[in-house]
């Protein structure tokens, strides 16, 4: 039954067009493609806006409220990072992969996985660990989109920062997120042994760092 129907559709698709000219189909396909692509990307960009992210009370009342007190939201020069700057890769294929992953978040929204603050706090460590491992795997690519190692003037940094950056960061033994966890949001309770500076596997995988740069 289904197989027969599929066969019928397959025949229709395979058969040359009887009513439309080749030029119409080519041009129409071309223009239609442009319109589709533009609309698709526009819609995709729309889901990258802060208004979209904070449209849910889960984001607005928890993580966005916390962001507002940090230097990534308000600072002397007015440069500001919004949600997607750190949480969505810029590279197109990576972005698509992340957006597909985000369908899980839509599921969570529909079924109210974190629709109260208590539920959010209870899940917070797990959610944070997802982000930490993602940034760990891509060598903190989203940090490095703005904070480039090559452009860092160590002489303008404090002695502490100089020491850390010229050793652990320079040798690629550590990546940004290893030390700079909880800079844009508050940290959940971290059980002993899985703290920011004692997570195992601190060495950045070579392939991931190569793909990231």
Partner 1 sequence: MKIRCLVLIALGLLAASAGAQPPPAPAHVDAARGPVPIPETTRPPLLRNAVNDDQRLKRNYDMQPPVIPHRVDGYQIDKNFNKCLDCHARAKTEFSGAVPVSATHYIDRSGKVLPQISTRRYFCMQCHVAQEPVQPLVGNSFRGIAAAPAPAAKK
Binding site for partner 1 (CB under 8 A): 69-71, 158-160, 163, 182, 186-190, 195-198
How many whole angstroms separate alpha carbon 94 and alpha carbon 116?
30
The distance from CA 193 to its chain's CA centroid, rounded to whole angstroms, is: 26
Q: Report in angstroms how near the CB of residue 43 gets to partner 1 at its nearest.
A: 36
Q: Report in angstroms how near the CB of residue 185 gets to partner 1 at its nearest.
A: 10
Beta carbon nearer to partner 1, 99 or 180: 180
Please say whether the beta carbons of 184 and 86 come within 8 A. Answer: yes
How many whole angstroms separate alpha carbon 37 and alpha carbon 188?
40
Beta carbon nearer to partner 1, 5 or 160: 160
Q: Report in angstroms how near the CB of residue 180 gets to partner 1 at its nearest.
A: 11
Q: Report in angstroms how near the CB of residue 188 gets to partner 1 at its nearest.
A: 5
Please say whether the beta carbons of 85 and 67 come within 8 A. Answer: no
Q: Is the dihedral of CA 168, 165, 198, 81 positive or negative?
A: negative
Q: Strand, coil or helix: what is 68?
A: coil
Residues 6+ apart with CB under 8 A from 141: 89, 135, 212
Q: Report in angstroms how near the CB of residue 189 gets to partner 1 at its nearest.
A: 4
How many whole angstroms separate alpha carbon 206 and alpha carbon 212?
10
Residue found under tokens 């020491």:
163
Q: Report in angstroms how near the CB of residue 195 gets to partner 1 at its nearest.
A: 7
């Amino acid at each position: 039954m289904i197989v027969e129907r599929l066969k019928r559709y397959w025949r229709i698709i395979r058969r040359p067009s009887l009513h439309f000219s080749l030029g119409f189909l080519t041009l129409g396909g071309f223009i239609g493609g442009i319109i589709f692509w533009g609309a698709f990307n526009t819609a995709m960009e729309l889901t990258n806006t802060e208004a979209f992210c904070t449209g849910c009370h889960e984001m607005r009342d928890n993580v966005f409220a916390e962001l507002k007190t940090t230097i990534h939201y308000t600072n002397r020069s007015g440069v500001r990072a919004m949600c997607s700057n750190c949480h969505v890769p810029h590279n197109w294929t990576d972005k698509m992969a992340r957006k597909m992953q985000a369908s899980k978040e839509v599921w969570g929204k529909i079924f109210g996985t974190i629709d109260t603050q208590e539920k959010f706090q209870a899940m917070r460590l797990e959610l944070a660990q997802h982000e930490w491992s993602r940034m760990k795997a891509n060598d903190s690519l989203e940090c490095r989109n703005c904070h480039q190692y090559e452009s860092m003037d160590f002489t303008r940094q404090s002695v502490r920062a100089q020491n850390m950056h010229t050793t652990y960061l320079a040798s690629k033994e550590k990546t940004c997120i290893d030390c700079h966890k909880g800079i844009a949001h508050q940290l959940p309770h971290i059980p002993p042994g899985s703290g920011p500076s004692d997570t195992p596997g601190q060495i950045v995988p070579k392939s991931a760092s190569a793909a990231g740069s």
